[in-house]
Chain A
Amino acid sequence: MKELGKYLLLMGKLLVNREKFSTYARLIIDEAIVIGTDSLLIVGIVSTFIGAVTAVQTAHNLYSPIIPLETIGSIVRDMTLLELAPTFTGVVLAGKIGSNIAGHLGSMRITEQIDALEVMGINSASYLILPKIVASLIVFPMLVTLSAFLGIFGGFVAGVLTHSLTAEQYISGIRDNFHGFDIFFALIKAFVFAFLISSISAFRGYYTRGGALEIGKASTMAVTHSCIAILIADYLLAQLILG
């Protein structure tokens, strides 16, 4: 509870006594590039395989003559958009970006780089954390979009290679009964997860005290807490928006 208060106070501190906008613009772009290049490959691999597995498993469970094979495509699409792309990307990014943010801020804290900023009168919290959060808010939706695309593509490749259905059937499946809202929903999730991961990880890193060992602990905690927050938020969003 005390931790939650401290977290909220830190979030408040991000918004007061900020530097000029131009200072942030540069930092945000740098952070966004780092986050993007760091996670592109892993998100790509994970998403393609998850889509493929979903397609194969759905095909395996669905051998009723009355259900058309196109349904496999629809199921992969819905699963990927609504749940797999945002949540898996979130969990992968919690591990990759979350630990990165916490480790970076933790080591800046331990080596007194944060103090060095404060001596110059810079609000270190907003200078260091705000660009990371904004960059995450920009990049995560892109990664989730990519993940959804690759997931559906992975399903296509797996479905066709295993001869579960033809390419035409799959494509007509993913076009069938498609709700544009699902994309919107995936993007909302991406935004929420982006904020949770970057802010929670920054919080853990920013308040590191001690030495190298504590930096490691802060990174681990950043990942676990971010994952828990994502899963809770995932459930709440599903209830709130779909329920």
Chain B
Amino acid sequence: MIEFSHLNKTFGDKQVLKDVSGVFERGKTNLIIGTSGTGKSVLLKCLVGIFEPDTGEILYDQRKFNGESNDRKQEIRRDIGMLFQGGALFDSKTVEENVMFPLTILAPTMSKSERLDRVDYCLKRVGLEKAKKLMPSEISGGMAKRVGIARAIVMQSKYLFCDEPNSGLDPLTSHVIDELIKDITHEYNITTVVVTHDMNSVLEIGENIMYMFEGENVWQGAKENILQTTVKPLQDFLFANKLIRDMER
């Protein structure tokens, strides 16, 4: 479980996060939804420690994260895996080396054969055991995301963060990625947080949903309750998405 309270983050004179609080539950796919530019990625990056929030508190299963010493943070980082928007694979390393990389950095005592076994297992889990020796420039966007997922779970992470896992993918591939994220979450009983503005994903994999609007958390609850919302910006968001989906049909 990840709890965070009163997070504020300002860049220059622009306040991007405004007193954001919330809870992400274990064993569930927790979604952050909202229009572009409302600070979803910034929230995610604060949670994983890429940005330091100006104020507020972040707890990973009661363990304090932000503001702690580097060693304390490193303990928690071993449990964090993240899938980035474009996959963010290291372009000078092969698929296999990419998945191996967190192990070499975060688990230096692990033996070489153990590492190779884990990498094999994870690549198989995302269905890419044949792509091992390829370079990131030689694989498709959907494959890059799957490698990104393999890299994110290779440390047997307890927390999985995904920033727009579907952006730039066709609907079919999107669906595959969504299913993979959902299955992994339930299979390993981990806390998964997914940023998305794709309503299909919301309906398919969303369990606990948080809606962000202009840097604020304006609604959080279970998927079943989202349609009854009285929050105006969320109603607009749902309506706009309904229109688009109706048109697609």
A93-109 to B contact mask, C-beta < 8 Å, 1/0 = 00000000000000110
Q: How far is the CB of B68 from chain A (nearest CB, A)?
A: 12
Measured between beta carbons, the chain B residues less than 8 angstroms from A115 are 45, 50, 84, 88
User: Is the pair B73, A121 in contact by a Cβ cutoff of 8 Å?
Assistant: yes
In the complex, whether A111 has a CB less than 8 A from a CB of chain B is yes
* B: interface residue count bin: 20 to 34
Report if B89 contacts A (CB, 8 A): yes
Specify which of B45, B84, B86, B105 is in contact with A122 (CB 8 Å cutoff): B105
Residue of B nearest to A118 (CB): B50
Q: Is B102 an interface residue (CB 8 A)?
A: yes
Tell whether A118 pairs with B86 under 8 Å between CB atoms, given A17-B70, A113-B91. Answer: no
Beta-carbon nearest neighbor of B98 in chain A: A116
Indicate whether B77 reaches chain A with its CB closer than 8 angstroms: yes
Docked-complex contact B82 and A116, CB < 8 angstroms: yes
CA distance A133 to B168 in the complex (A): 36
Q: Residue on B with the closest CB to A113?
A: B88
Report which residue of B48, B50, B77, B91 has the largest number of chain A beta carbons within 10 angstroms of its beta carbon. B50
Nearest chain B CB to A205's CB is how many angstroms away? 14
Chain B positions within 8 Å of A113 at CB level: 88-91
Name the distance in Å between A171's Cβ and chain B's nearest Cβ: 46
Interfacial chain A residues near B86, Cβ < 8 Å: 111-112
Look across to chain A and name the residue whose beta carbon is closest to the beta carbon of B80: A119
Tell me whether B90 and A116 are in contact (CB under 8 A): yes
Which residues 114-147 in A have Cβ within 8 Å of B in the complex?
115-116, 118-122
Cα distance A114–B88 when bound, in Å? Answer: 8
For residue A229, give the distance in angstroms from its CB to the closest CB of chain B: 27
Q: Which A residue sits closest to B86, measured CB to CB?
A: A111
Complex interface: chain A residues within 8 A of B156 (CB)? none
Q: Chain B residues with Cβ under 8 A from A116's Cβ? A: 82, 84, 88, 90
- With a cutoff of 8 Å between Cβ atoms, the chain B residues found around residue A118 in the complex are 49-50
Nearest A-chain residue to B84, judged by Cβ:
A112
Q: How many A-B residue pairs have CB under 8 A?
A: 45
Q: Which residues of B contact A19 (CB under 8 A)?
A: 105
**B74 contacts the other chain (CB 8 A):** yes
- Per-position binary interface string of chain B over residues 174-201, scored 1 when its CB falls under 8 Å from any chain A CB and 0 otherwise: 0000000000000000000000000000
Contacts of B89 in A (CB 8 A): 113
Find chain A residues with CB under 8 A from B74 CB.
121
Q: List residues of B (66-101) whose CB comes within 8 Å of A's CBs.
A: 70, 73-74, 77, 80, 82, 84-86, 88-91, 101
Report the Cα distance A107→B49, complex, angstroms: 21
A238 to B130, CA, bound (A): 59
Min Cβ gap B155→A in Å is 9
B70 touches A119 (CB 8 A): no
The listed residue with most B CB atoms (<10 A of its CB), out of A107, A121, A122, is: A121
Residues of A within 8 A of B139 (CB): none
Q: How far is the CA of A137 from the CA of B146 in the complex (A)?
A: 39
Establish whether residues A119 and B105, one from each chain, have CB atoms under 8 Å apart when the complex forms: no
With A111-B88, A113-B88, A113-B91 as contacts: A119 and B48 at CB distance below 8 Å = yes
Are B106 and A119 interface neighbours, CB within 8 A? no
Distance of A239 Cα from B101 Cα, bound (Å): 48
CB distance from B50 to the nearest CB of A (A): 5
Residues of chain B lying within 8 A (CB to CB) of residue A17: 70
User: What CA separation (Å) do A111 and B88 show in the bound complex?
Assistant: 6
Min CB distance A137 to B, Å, is 21
Q: In the complex the two chains form, what is the Cα distance from A147 to B77 in whole Å? A: 48
**Alpha-carbon distance between A108 and B92 when the two chains are bound, in angstroms:** 10
A17-B70, A112-B84, A112-B85 in contact; A119/B77 too (CB < 8 A)? yes
Question: A241 to nearest B CB, angstroms?
Answer: 39
**Nearest neighbor of A17 in chain B, beta-carbon distance:** B70
Give bound CA distance, A115 to B77, whole Å.
13
Docked Cα-Cα span, A112 to B116, in Å, equals 25
With A112-B88, A122-B105 known, 10 other A-B pairs at CB within 8 A are A111-B86, A112-B84, A112-B86, A113-B89, A118-B50, A119-B77, A119-B82, A120-B77, A120-B105, A120-B106
Chain A residues with CB under 8 Å of chain B are 17, 19, 107-108, 111-113, 115-116, 118-122
- Of the A-B pairs whose beta carbons lie under 8 Å apart in the complex, a sample of 7, sorted by A's number, is A17-B70, A112-B84, A115-B45, A119-B49, A119-B77, A119-B80, A120-B77
> What 8 A-B pairs are tightest by C-beta distance, nearest first?
A112-B88, A112-B84, A116-B88, A121-B77, A121-B74, A118-B50, A119-B82, A115-B50
